Amino acid sequence: MLYHPAPPGFQQYSQHNPYGYRHPSEQGLISEDILIKTSDNLKLKGWFLKQKSDYQTIPTIVFFHENAGNIGTRLEYLKNYMNLVNVNIMIVAYRGYSDSEKCTPSEEGL
């Protein structure tokens, strides 16, 4: 029960979300797709969400989204947070979540 990639009624993959929750550009956010390779060769998907100006001189927060759901469902919250605090955000999907490579999520993997 601890690792549940998609609760009933939610999509596991962001591309299946409603408009506005599939990609940062749908929320008007500037972003780069990122791919992180783990020490055991698994690929984790994420987005680097940048402020419109001076993004290289302001702090960046690494955000690991909550259990259940996908990174797209967090976009509205992240947009509001970025506007309030003036930071960049790098959001990464856990192993087996969202568009990260499929695997059986485990405590060891986390």
Chain segment 12-35, per-residue pLDDT in tens: 778 888 899 999 999 999 999 999
pLDDT of 1 strictly over 50: no
In a domain, 58, yes or no: yes
In a domain, 103, yes or no: no
Residue 62: which domain range? 19-92
With the CA atoms of 79, 47, 25 and 74 taken in that order, what torsion angle do they form, in degrees rounded to the nearest 10?
-40
Angle at 81 between CA 62 and CA 58, to 5 degrees: 60
In a domain, 50, yes or no: yes
pLDDT of 59 strictly over 60: yes
In a domain, 5, yes or no: no
Of 62 and 67, the one with more pLDDT: 62
**Euclidean distance between CA atoms 57 and 83, whole angstroms:** 16
- Counted domains in the chain: 1
Q: What is the rounded average pLDDT for all residues in the chain? A: 84
Average pLDDT over residues 62-78: 84
In a domain, 46, yes or no: yes
In a domain, 83, yes or no: yes
In a domain, 85, yes or no: yes
Report residue 69 as tokens. 């759901």
In a domain, 11, yes or no: no
The percentage of the chain sitting over the pLDDT mark of 90, rounded to a whole number, equals 45
